[in-house]
């Protein structure tokens, strides 16, 4: 179940929802709260459906010091939930100007719902 946050301390088998981001070139990634890169299992049948701006529920299958590999478990979703996850990521960033804008947009979305 998505809790709105990704844990910094992950273990094999942990499951959570992540926002798919554009990496270098044509690659797709995500990021942990602590800055580690999340890579996706390329052998997953869902891998080709992953696109930047979508969210996917995934399971941790490998943990390294600088990155985590996850296996997508559900087809990716787009829409308002993906937008909110992206805004929460920016709101938690160290760039205070972008953080304030993201927090304001999140507040507006909550008011509209």
Question: pLDDT by residue (tens digit) across 13-51?
Answer: 999 888 899 999 889 999 887 788 999 999 999 999 999
Non-local (6+) Cβ contacts of 113 within 8 A are none
Distances (CA, A) of 47 to 15, 87, 101, 113: 16, 24, 32, 32
Architecture of domain 15-72: Beta Barrel (2.40)
- Please report which confidence band the pLDDT of residue 2 belongs to, taking 50, 70 and 90 as the band edges: very low
**Largest Cα–Cα separation, the chain:** 41
Residue ranges covered by each domain of the chain: 15-72, 80-112
Gap between the Cα atoms of 56 and 37, Å rounded = 15
Q: Which pair of tokens denotes residue 75?
A: 């087809």
Question: pLDDT by residue (tens digit) across 65-106?
Answer: 899 999 999 999 888 878 888 888 778 777 888 889 989 999
The reported pLDDT for the residue numbered 89 is: 77
The reported pLDDT for the residue numbered 3 is: 42
Question: pLDDT by residue (tens digit) across 47-68?
Answer: 999 999 898 999 999 999 899 9
The reported pLDDT for the residue numbered 8 is: 61
Burial (0-12, 13-18, 19+ Cβ within 10 Å), 68 = buried
Which carries the bigger pLDDT value, residue 42 or residue 8?
A: 42
């Amino acid at each position: 179940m998505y809790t709105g946050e990704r844990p910094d301390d992950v273990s094999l088998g942990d499951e959570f929802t992540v926002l798919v981001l554009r990496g270098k070139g044509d690659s797709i990634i995500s990021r942990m709260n602590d800055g580690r890169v999340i890579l996706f299992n390329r052998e997953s049948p869902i891998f080709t459906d992953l696109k930047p701006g979508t969210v996917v529920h995934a399971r941790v299958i490998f943990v390294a010091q600088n990155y985590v590999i996850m296996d997508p478990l559900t087809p990716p979703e787009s829409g308002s939930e993906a937008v909110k996850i992206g805004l929460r990521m920016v709101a938690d960033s160290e760039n205070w100007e972008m953080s304030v804008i993201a927090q304001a947009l999140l507040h507006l979305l909550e008011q509209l719902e």
